[in-house]
Structure 1
């Protein structure tokens, strides 16, 4: 091996070492040191797209979105086939309320790697967790526009409407989720809850029964069958359902509460 080859080999080893270190620093949220480390990589190899992307992610972690956009865009120029770069850049634009640009980038990420639809789903669920139901609805409608065949996207759109107490729209999207994946017990349970709130108990019973066929230990299906029986005054059947629920989960709060209800008392499906 000549001196030039030895030098190149040493640089390559140092580049790999620094990349590993920078990635660890990002995971530990030590963003300043991560930036410093990735900059060292770029001095060795200015065309290292991953190092450029790493600086962008670190700047995003520091909430310096202007610099984050600058570096992630440069990373895309260096490697236009990186779905993570498009996705992360899309997130930044989304939080900047530039939703149209954000979804263009999300679509680019999904075109490269269709599995990124799952990351979009997780991202949209943040709005649900923060009780921002209108924002969640807007988000999931756009995701469905990208790919309407994912049951869990339709489910989360339905859940957003359900939590907003728009049960007519919730029913529509839960029915779509069930259509796409009928053997998912949670899809059946949530559609059943919606039917229950709308006092369509025959359909609610069918959904809960189907959920139990899919998963005999579907606790929420058992509990809501009990609630449905209470609503029609079938106290003994309700007690049986609640007891079965409590066998599976001893301190299930909804089952414990409804077990003590008087004959004829009505409980909702929320």
Structure 2
């Protein structure tokens, strides 16, 4: 019996206890095969048991240092614990070992982004958008990175692309508004703050920005 396949099937059916039993059997039968540990690590992540998941991914790496998905899993565990700087190395190793998927570049880019290392984040987030050009969240995060680097025109292009894919993305509207304020286009910025609030009435940043812009425009009109 293929216990790995059986365990994956159980995971997809959300039968997590049965999946754990299958992966345990796979590991017992093939203790030097990293796939059993990787899949068990993935299961533990689904169950939010991050400490145990980390041990399984680390064991997989010990068995096969070239197992890209083991490095990627370890990076995810560290990232989920907010250990962004520690997550960078396993994400980089996953890519070096051939994980040519957008999620690997995206997670590495985010781990730099959340450490405010924007120049380091940019090429990885860019690569993620090249591999997944229809993923609005990847485009959005790349846009945020560009905005942090004061590349406002390019950031606006990304945020508008996000809206083409998902016109209900309130944060894209808000960040378009912020970029437009920097280019002194207050009226256009106000429209996007209103759009953000229409989609998400409790968007506090948009509400605050809207109030400030309305106050400034009113003062401007009174002084004319």
Aligned to 1:83: 35
1:97 Cα shift? 9.8
SS at match of 1:261: helix
1:197 Cα shift? 0.7
Which of 132, 144, 148 is the matching residue for 2:95?
Answer: 144
Aligned to 2:17: 27
Matched, 1:104 2:58: no
221 and 103 in structure 1: CA distance in 2 versus 1, 3 angstrom threshold: farther
Q: What TM-score do you get using the length of structure 1 for normalisation?
A: 0.59
Q: What TM-score do you get using the length of structure 2 for normalisation?
A: 0.70
Matched, 1:135 2:112: no
Contact 1:93 1:99 in 2 (8 A): no
Rounded to whole Å, the distance in 1 between the matches of 2:92 and 2:63 is: 12
Q: CA RMSD in A?
A: 3.7
Rounded to whole Å, the distance in 1 between the matches of 2:199 and 2:94 is: 36
The runs of 5 or more residues in structure 1 that have no matched partner are: 1-25, 29-33, 39-49, 55-70, 111-116, 265-270
Which has the larger displacement, 146-155 or 179-188?
Answer: 146-155
Aligned to 2:130: 179
Aligned to 1:158: 109
SS at match of 1:260: helix
Contact 2:176 2:192 in 1 (8 A): yes
Which of 176, 198, 201 is the matching residue for 1:225?
Answer: 176
Aligned to 2:166: 215
After superposing on structure 2, the runs of 4+ consecutive aligned residues of structure 1 that deviate more than 4 Å are 89-94, 96-100, 119-123
Rounded to whole Å, the distance in 2 between the matches of 1:253 and 1:151 is: 31
The runs of 5 or more residues in structure 2 that have no matched partner are: 1-15, 43-50, 218-224
Rounded to whole Å, the distance in 1 between the matches of 2:201 and 2:53 is: 46
Contact 1:86 1:106 in 2 (8 A): no
Aligned to 1:261: 212
Contact 2:79 2:111 in 1 (8 A): yes
Aligned to 2:191: 240
Deviations 1:31-81 (A, max 9, x none): xxx9xxx8xxxxxxxxxxx59x25xxxxxxxxxxxxxxxx94x4215xx77
Rounded to whole Å, the distance in 1 between the matches of 2:176 and 2:41 is: 46
Deviations 1:84-129 (A, max 9, x none): 345448997954996784471782xx7xxxxxx4x86565333223
